Structures are given as C-alpha cells and as structure tokens.
Amino acid sequence: DSGVTQTPKHLITATGQRVTLRCSPRSGDLSVYWYQQSLDQGLQFLIQYYNGEERAKGNILERFSAQQFPDLHSELNLSSLELGDSALYFCASSTTGVGYTFGSGTRLTVV
C-alpha cells in the first residue's frame, strides 16, 4: 500500500457519459498530480494541484476537469466520454516535490 488511495479501481461506462475519479493523497502530502496512461500515448501528465490551488496543467482535454478539496483529496471529472478516453488514470502525491508516490490507478473503459 503506497498510501495514495484511488477509487474506483475499475470503471466501465458508455460513450457520452460523465465519471468522477477520486484520489486521497498520502498523509501530509499537499500536492496531487493526475496522469493518464494509454497504450498509444504512454504516461501523460494532466494536471497538478497544491493545497487546493491549480498549479500546473499538461495535456488535459477541455472535457476533463479536476479539483482539490480542503481535506486535500482530489477528484478528476471526465465528461462527454469517447472511446479514446479508455485508459489507466493515476494519481500521485508529493510534499517536497522530490518523491512522488503513485496510487494503483483507476482503469476506465468506455464502451
């Protein structure tokens, strides 16, 4: 157990739908990062939050959004889902910006 908790582990949904992925960072970590892992794109950085504020944005689609709550957990919202959004979504947390601890991921399948 890495200390970073992601739920759900698996999600199957239809095209056009909206889903929410949840991440609880390791205790004491203020930063949360979201990554997407797909066969064709590899591991891509999506977005970072630090203590509730958006810090950096990567290759995140406009259909995707995220937030970090006062208790530091984060949610990634994916809407108008397409087949190509099927991927593993990872959350990572860090305090020092040196060590990054990853969760076990949410596998999203869009059918």
**CA gap 52, 39 in Å, rounded:** 31
Specify the 3-state DSSP secondary structure of 89.
strand
**CA gap 81, 27 in Å, rounded:** 32
Q: Are 101 and 90 in contact (CB under 8 A)?
A: no
The distance of closest approach from Cβ of residue 64 to another protein in the complex, given in angstroms and rounded to an integer, is 16
- β-pair partners for 53: 50
Give the interface with another protein as residue ranges (CB under 8 A). Answer: 2, 31, 33, 35, 42-43, 45, 48, 55-56, 58, 90, 92, 94, 97-105
The distance of closest approach from Cβ of residue 80 to another protein in the complex, given in angstroms and rounded to an integer, is 25
In the bound state with another protein, the residue whose beta carbon lies nearer, of 2 and 27, is 2
In the bound state with another protein, the residue whose beta carbon lies nearer, of 67 and 101, is 101
In the bound state with another protein, the residue whose beta carbon lies nearer, of 25 and 103, is 103
